[in-house]
Amino acid sequence: MSDTHIAAPHKGELYELGCLLGIACCCWLIGDTLGLFLRMEAAVTAGGVSSVVFLGFLMSFAFAAASALKSVRLRHEMRRRTRAEMNAQSIARRDVLTGLPNRRMLIEAIGTATGNALPGTQHAIFLIDLDRFKPVNDVYGHAAGDAVLCTVAERLNGLLPKDGIAARLGGDEFSVLLPTHGQSTELIRLAQQIIACLSEPIVWEHAKLEVGATIGIALYPPDGSDAEALLRSADIAMYRGKREGRSTFRFFEARMDDELKARVSLEIALRSAIQSNQIRPHYQPLVSLPEHKLLGFEVLARWYHPERGVIPPDVFIPIAEDIGVITELCYSLLRQACRDAAGWPSDLGLAINISPCQFKDRLLAPRLLNILRETGFNPRHLEVEITESALTNDLDVARATLSVLQTAGVSIALDDFGTGYSSLYHLRELKFDKLKIDRSFVQSLEDNDESAKIVSAIIGLGQSLGILTTAEGIENTTNSAWLAERGCTFGQGYLFGAPVPAQAAQLLAEEAGLHPARPDTSVAA
């Protein structure tokens, strides 16, 4: 069966043909009435030509005009469709916002470059991820974010050599393709220039928007044989840069891939561990100074993996923050700790750390209090520890959260004081109940005069503001006595006990001679 398809005449075309034929008939009628054809007959031939011939001629002319008009319109339509197809191809290959090549066009360019590469030549792929871009969108809106992306595109184009290609992959990710002569120095120089250029403020509606960039670099052919492999290698290198401080660059190394696979495996295991309560709370004693009387315990997370053994908190806590499960982990630990404490002497309190990431949740305080009501734990026996980095994102949200908790009776401690911003503004604006002196200062008291002066100053500051102080990391009686002499209120460290499971914590309480457990009628309803 033939695939040839003859299009039926369009109604509009039939109408136009009818009009032209009508015009031809009118012309013939007028010519015949006025005797024009007779004169033409005399001029053309002595034998005469019938007027019907002239009618046929006019009809033929009408058909020819209709065909010519259709041909003109067809050519116009073909040109229009060609332009539309070219425009569609351009849109499909370019980012609408920035005008840069998109991922599809970049992959084609990488394929062309690597396919035509001469032996011994190399190409470099930069994968550029913007730092601090999300806060720009959150604070100033998406219009500001679009302005940042367009400015980044302009700056990249201004930095690249003539044979380099900049592309936007999507979101706040960009990429660069350029040939290299095997000299890493020129790539390092370009990466540094890109980071410095993209870190410069962007003025938008009287505001200065500041972002940065982290870059991963992969090379063809050693780091991948095709576009997808090269982009993946560059992405792995970029991810390493993010983990190691941002606003930097990293070249891909084969071991990075193995580390990433191990990281992904650990992430999966961590999610499962939280769901199955594999991560259990351990309890480190908190004592008064100088009496060393047990007052309560700090809740610390411990993960005993069935195959990998003990996984340290400094390994899995950052991962929990990165993948967004730190809130779920915190609630799980608090719920377990409150249930463990139900069988302990009622005089004991609990202290738990809250991650800065959790302060993005405006429902943090109600959810914590709901756990206390659910387990029957007295809010007045709970202490929430936060670091100053939790206050830098949105001070108003932090103030509202802490106010709700303190109104319910929960105490608030500023953890690791002296190692972060240590802003007196926060001490003035927020009513903290306690300052916790970081262990790094306490453990260097005997060897470092500066540490001793800082600790003395923090204790004095707390006393002048009416804020209690806790020293972490106390490991010997000398430091304990020194701190007590200067007025430090509480102590914590291996001198008083290492973190232990719930049953061991109960034994510590019994050995300390505390009152037996009793119903607590002061728990918030």
Give dist(CA 341, CA 505) in Å, integer: 9
DSSP at 296: E
Number of domains, the chain? 3
Give dist(CA 444, CA 439) in Å, integer: 8
Q: Are residues 52 and 108 located together in one domain of the fold?
A: no
**Domain at 233, CATH number:** 3.30.70.270
- Over residues 118-144, the mean pLDDT reads 88
Q: Are residues 321 and 466 located together in one domain of the fold?
A: yes
- Number of Cβ within 10 Å of residue 42's Cβ equals 11
Q: Are residues 69 and 35 located together in one domain of the fold?
A: yes
- Over residues 202-210, the mean pLDDT reads 89
Q: Using one digit for the tens of pLDDT, what is the confidence trace for 78-93?
A: 777 767 666 656 567 7
Contact 156, 106 (CB under 8 A): no
Residue 523, domain member (yes or no): no
Phi, psi of 456, rounded to the nearest 5 degrees? -60, -40
Has residue 393 got a pLDDT over 90?
no
- pLDDT for the residue numbered 229: 92
Residue 1, domain member (yes or no): no
Residue 84, domain member (yes or no): no
Q: What share of the chain has pLDDT > 90, as a percent?
A: 51
- pLDDT for the residue numbered 105: 92
Q: What's this model's pTM, rounded to 2 decimal places?
A: 0.66
Residue 333, domain member (yes or no): yes
Angle made by CA atoms 275, 312, 358, in degrees to the nearest 5: 55
- Assign 4 a pLDDT band (cuts: 50, 70, 90): very low
Count of alpha carbons within 13 Å of 86, Cβ hemisphere only?
6
**Domain at 301, CATH number:** 3.20.20.450
Read off the tokens for 265. 């495996």
Question: Could you write out the DSSP letters of every residue in 342-403?
Answer: TTS-TT-EEEEE--GGGGG-TTHHHHHHHHHHHHT--GGGEEEEE-THHHHS-HHHHHHHHH
Residue 190, domain member (yes or no): yes
- Over residues 12-34, the mean pLDDT reads 67
- Assign 39 a pLDDT band (cuts: 50, 70, 90): low
- pLDDT for the residue numbered 3: 46
Q: Average pLDDT, whole number, for the chain?
A: 84
Q: Using one digit for the tens of pLDDT, what is the confidence trace for 467-518?
A: 999 999 999 999 999 999 999 999 999 999 999 998 898 888 877 765 444 3
Distances from the Cα of 500 to the Cα of 101, 141, 244, angstroms: 57, 47, 32
- pLDDT for the residue numbered 416: 79
Residue 164, domain member (yes or no): yes
Residue 517, domain member (yes or no): no
Q: Are residues 169 and 292 located together in one domain of the fold?
A: no
Q: Are residues 242 and 294 located together in one domain of the fold?
A: no
Q: Are residues 326 and 361 located together in one domain of the fold?
A: yes
Give dist(CA 131, CA 146) in Å, integer: 15
Q: Are residues 287 and 234 located together in one domain of the fold?
A: no
Q: Are residues 390 and 302 located together in one domain of the fold?
A: yes
Angle made by CA atoms 152, 154, 155, in degrees to the nearest 5: 65
Angle, helices 103-115/227-243, rounded to nearest 10 degrees:
120
Distances from the Cα of 180 to the Cα of 177, 200, 221, 328, angstroms: 10, 27, 12, 47
Q: Are residues 338 and 438 located together in one domain of the fold?
A: yes
Domain that holds residue 442: 270-511
Q: Are residues 35 and 69 located together in one domain of the fold?
A: yes
